């Protein structure tokens, strides 16, 4: 019996220098590190101190210099604009080197910040890699974010230059970016020296003389720029994630640890080799886009698919299968919500039969819990392993996964399998005491975190300690709750604030969602705890039905309630659910449970900047009112 995983895991915790040092040797360094793990300034651990390298060199030039310049690097597929384009490593490097020259001609140097506010187009990846090439720190802001949210990030990062495009496309709707960018700059205390605007054919932005510059014109005169060596501990990027105070947290990623960890994960976690075709169906505005659309696959020498579209509606629920078939994708990574959308539109997966998926080997899901129903539907219809894995913006790569390139374990529905080497995952009670197998508590990671994770928050060490390290001394707080079973499988049940207390019983809303998702008519669901005078909290369910379901909603709700009662027990006190047209989500697909809870409890709430459609909240208010909750309670 293989013990590859067990050996790798133990070595990563007991001898991090011996584990990560040889892995780092596979990357290109201008100067080798002095220390693999530097723990001289706890809790601010650093990796590969003294080393010098360049992220862009390792993503592009490294492969060209090793004779692979003609291999495919980037595949751009945009059903919303009917555009396809393929770049080799040499072609992509040449564009990136020119754009690095553009940035340098505008005064951008090592350590300067550049904000990138763009749709899913190749120029977004070129901008990121161009920044990395000269040692500038990029901060990608999701394209189409509201002006005030962009302004907040401009004020914090203080960019010298902002890069944007004339518009984004949401299915068939144009979203002009330039008016949003202009307003954000007006709202900001910190003003960029200049902006670079990529003009898309479907929308021409008005440029302001002296401040705004045309991408194509600047590129036509640009002189290519070589890679600039940077310290392994220098920041590569800042990525803002939502904060409880309303002030977003600027997650910092360093250059060296990021490169080493991500290149390793492509084989260890995803079983992707040089020359394979890989697809992460996300957006460059989110961490998945940073780690697994742009950087990790290129570090590995794999071809990466950049997709500008949606899982449904561009043009139908078969678009994912079309992309996998057309480019011979070996493995794909997306969010469970994308597959729930496909399942809702095409419950019997009839469209899968139209495509040749013979090259497709593995589907990876992350971003939220993969409910067993979605897992089984995907397994049944794609006939490949479906691997749930768990990670966060802050971590940059998987905390727990079925490591397909090390040793494959049996899939347990509801679990992202075991901790990935490098991660000492534990479950503790509020007093930071370890809990026995099977008992729900706070999931934490013993310090030090592995390379490639956040070393701190941008210019805010105090907030980093307070947000992640203070509550459980010696550990990183994931803010997720769950348990580890007696075989080491991790179960992430919910965010810690989604563990509800029903008459003294601590219950997971995720466990209830798992039951509801098994109802044959339910496409998607959410459960949250709402205030109750008698029990403290009680669970409330929201059900989205499959397309074409015409049965009486009250009957479906009755069946769903009974399922929870049968499978979890009367202790769950699950008695109320409502059918809704759709669930409010962030643009990255996370359900806004906290906002829904606030509406139900008649508490004030702020409409999240990341919401995909604010109108949904009005529909939720109306549905809640019919069952006696929220401001419209009847």
pLDDT tens digit sequence for 331-373: 999 988 889 889 989 999 999 999 999 999 999 999 877 878 8
CB proximity list for 431: less than 8 A, separation 6 or greater: none
Mean pLDDT over the full length of the chain? 93
Q: How confident is the model at residue 245 (pLDDT cuts 50, 70, 90)?
A: very low
CB proximity list for 588: less than 8 A, separation 6 or greater: 142, 282, 283, 285, 286, 288, 335, 367, 610
Model pLDDT for residues 511-541, shown as the tens digit of each residue: 788 889 999 999 999 998 888 877 778 899 9
Q: What residue has token string 């409890």?
A: 601
Determine which of 243-252, 277-286, 327-336, 410-419 has the lowest per-residue pLDDT on average. 243-252
Identify the burial level of 407 via C-beta atoms within 10 angstroms of its C-beta, where 0-12 means exposed, 13-18 middle and 19 or more buried.
Answer: middle
Structure tokens at 103: 């940035």
What pairs with residue 138 in β-bridges?
114, 237
pLDDT at 244: 44
Q: What are phi and psi of 207, to 5 degrees?
A: -100, 140
pLDDT at 85: 98
Model pLDDT for residues 581-600, shown as the tens digit of each residue: 999 887 767 788 888 888 99
The percent helix, strand, coil of the chain (3-state, each to 5) is 35, 25, 40
Mean pLDDT of 91-119: 98
The CA distances from residue 507 to 471, 498, 527, 590, in Å, are: 22, 9, 11, 21
Structure tokens at 217: 């014109």
pLDDT at 167: 96
3-class DSSP assignment, residue 109: coil
pLDDT at 410: 96
387 close to 234: Cβ distance less than 8 angstroms? no
Q: How confident is the model at residue 147 (pLDDT cuts 50, 70, 90)?
A: confident
Model pLDDT for residues 440-471, shown as the tens digit of each residue: 899 999 999 999 999 999 999 999 999 999 99
Q: Which H/E stretch holds residue 479?
A: strand 475-484
Structure tokens at 500: 């509800």
C-alpha span between 327 and 322 (Å, rounded)? 9
Q: Rounded to 5 degrees, what angle do the CA atoms 537, 621, 175 make? A: 125
pLDDT at 246: 52
Structure tokens at 615: 């109108």
C-alpha span between 478 and 168 (Å, rounded)? 33
The CA distances from residue 164 to 94, 177, 199, 217, 229, in Å, are: 20, 7, 9, 15, 26
Identify the burial level of 410 via C-beta atoms within 10 angstroms of its C-beta, where 0-12 means exposed, 13-18 middle and 19 or more buried.
Answer: exposed
Mean pLDDT of 127-133: 98
pLDDT at 23: 98
Q: List, in order of start, the domains of the chain with CATH numbers.
A: 4-309+389-482 (3.40.50.12780), 505-626 (3.30.300.30)
More confident residue, 587 or 626: 626
pLDDT at 38: 98
C-alpha span between 272 and 257 (Å, rounded)? 20
Mean pLDDT of 46-69: 98
500 close to 529: Cβ distance less than 8 angstroms? yes
Q: What are phi and psi of 80, to 5 degrees?
A: -75, -20
- Does position 495 have pLDDT exceeding 80, yes or no? no
More confident residue, 11 or 573: 11
Identify the burial level of 545 via C-beta atoms within 10 angstroms of its C-beta, where 0-12 means exposed, 13-18 middle and 19 or more buried.
Answer: buried
């Amino acid at each position: 019996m293989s013990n590859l995983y067990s050996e790798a895991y133990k070595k990563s915790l007991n001898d991090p220098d011996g584990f990560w040092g040889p892995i780092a040797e596979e990357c290109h360094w201008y100067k080798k590190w002095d220390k693999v793990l530097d723990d001289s300034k706890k809790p601010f651990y650093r990796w590969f101190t003294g080393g010098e390298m360049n992220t862009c060199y390792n993503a592009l030039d490294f492969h060209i210099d090793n004779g692979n310049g003609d291999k495919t690097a980037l595949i751009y597929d945009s059903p919303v604009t009917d555009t396809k384009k393929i770049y080799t490593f040499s072609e992509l490097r040449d564009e990136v080197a020119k754009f690095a020259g553009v940035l340098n001609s505008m005064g951008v140097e090592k350590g300067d910040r550049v904000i990138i506010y763009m749709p899913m187009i190749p120029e977004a990846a070129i901008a990121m890699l161009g920044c990395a090439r000269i040692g500038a720190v990029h901060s990608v802001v999701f394209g189409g974010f509201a002006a005030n949210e962009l302004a907040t990030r401009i004020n914090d990062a203080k960019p010298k230059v902002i890069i944007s495009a004339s518009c984004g496309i949401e299915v068939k709707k144009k979203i002009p970016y330039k008016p949003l960018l202009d307003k954000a700059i007006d709202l900001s205390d910190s003003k960029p020296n200049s902006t670079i605007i990529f003009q898309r054919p479907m929308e021409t932005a008005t440029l302001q003389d002296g401040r705004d510059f045309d991408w194509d014109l600047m590129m036509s005169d640009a002189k290519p720029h070589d890679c600039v060596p940077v310290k392994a501990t220098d920041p590569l990027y800042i990525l803002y994630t939502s904060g409880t105070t309303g002030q977003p947290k600027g997650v910092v990623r360093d250059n060296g640890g990021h490169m080493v960890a991500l290149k390793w994960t492509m084989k260890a976690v995803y079983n992707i080799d040089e020359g394979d075709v890989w697809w992460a169906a996300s957006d460059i505005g989110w961490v998945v886009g940073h780690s697994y659309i742009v950087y990790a696959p290129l570090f590995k020498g794999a071809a990466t698919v950049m997709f500008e579209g949606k899982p449904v509606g561009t043009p139908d629920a078969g678009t994912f299968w079309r992309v996998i078939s057309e480019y011979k994708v070996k493995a794909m990574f997306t969010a469970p919500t994308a597959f729930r959308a496909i399942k809702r539109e095409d419950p019997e997966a009839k469209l899968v039969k139209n495509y040749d998926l013979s090259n497709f080997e593995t589907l990876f899901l992350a971003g939220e819990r993969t409910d067993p129903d979605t897992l089984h539907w995907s397994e049944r219809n794609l006939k490949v392993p479906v691997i749930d894995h768990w990670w966060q913006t802050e971590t940059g790569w998987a905390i727990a996964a079925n490591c397909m390139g090390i040793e494959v374990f049996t899939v347990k529905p509801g679990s992202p399998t075991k901790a990935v080497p490098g991660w000492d995952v534990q479950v503790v009670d509020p007093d930071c005491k370890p809990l026995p197998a099977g008992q729900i508590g706070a999931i934490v990671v013993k310090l030090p975190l592995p390379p490639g994770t956040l070393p701190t928050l941008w210019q805010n060490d105090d907030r980093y300690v307070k947000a992640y390290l203070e509550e459980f001394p010696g550990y990183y707080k994931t803010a997720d709750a769950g348990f580890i079973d007696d075989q080491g499988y991790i179960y992430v049940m919910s965010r810690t604030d989604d563990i509800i207390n029903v008459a003294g019983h601590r219950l997971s809303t995720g466990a209830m969602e798992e039951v509801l998702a098994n109802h044959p008519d339910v496409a998607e669901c959410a459960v949250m705890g709402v205030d109750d005078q008698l029990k403290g909290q009680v669970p409330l369910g929201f059900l989205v039905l499959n397309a074409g379901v015409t049965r009486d909603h009250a009957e479906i709700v009755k069946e769903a309630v009974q399922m929870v009662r049968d499978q979890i027990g009367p202790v769950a006190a699950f008695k109320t659910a409502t059918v809704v047209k759709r669930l409010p989500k962030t643009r990255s697909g996370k359900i806004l449970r906290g906002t829904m809870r606030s509406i139900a409890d008649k508490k004030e709430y702020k409409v999240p900047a990341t919401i995909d459609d604010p109108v949904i909240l009005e529909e939720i208010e109306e549905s809640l009112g019919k069952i006696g909750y929220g401001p419209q309670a009847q």
